[in-house]
Amino acid sequence: MHRNSKLKDAVFKLGRHQYEVAREVGISETRLSRLVQGRAEPTVGERTLLAKVLGVDEADLFEGAAA
């Protein structure tokens, strides 16, 4: 797996901490960190919620990522 720099960039551009985004999505900060680092694959639900919370298109956020 590869680091998801688009996910990391989206969190940074939002101007919030990972723990805040994780809480709003309903996942642990550790889980979000693993997703950003590419050490885990997001579920369909996580993909949808992350895109919504971050205000970006899901396809753009996870382009090239396995579904």
Domains and CATH numbers, the chain: 5-54 (1.10.260.40)
pTM, 2 dp? 0.85
Distances from the Cα of 46 to the Cα of 14, 32, 41, 53, angstroms: 17, 10, 9, 10
**pLDDT surpasses 80 at 65:** no
d(CA 43, CA 49): 10
What mean pLDDT do residues 27-40 have?
Answer: 95
Mean pLDDT of the chain: 90
Q: Which residues of 17-55 are buried (b: 16+ CB within 10 A; e: fewer)?
A: ebeebbeebebeeeebebbbeeebebeeebbebbbebbe
What is the reported pLDDT for 67?
43
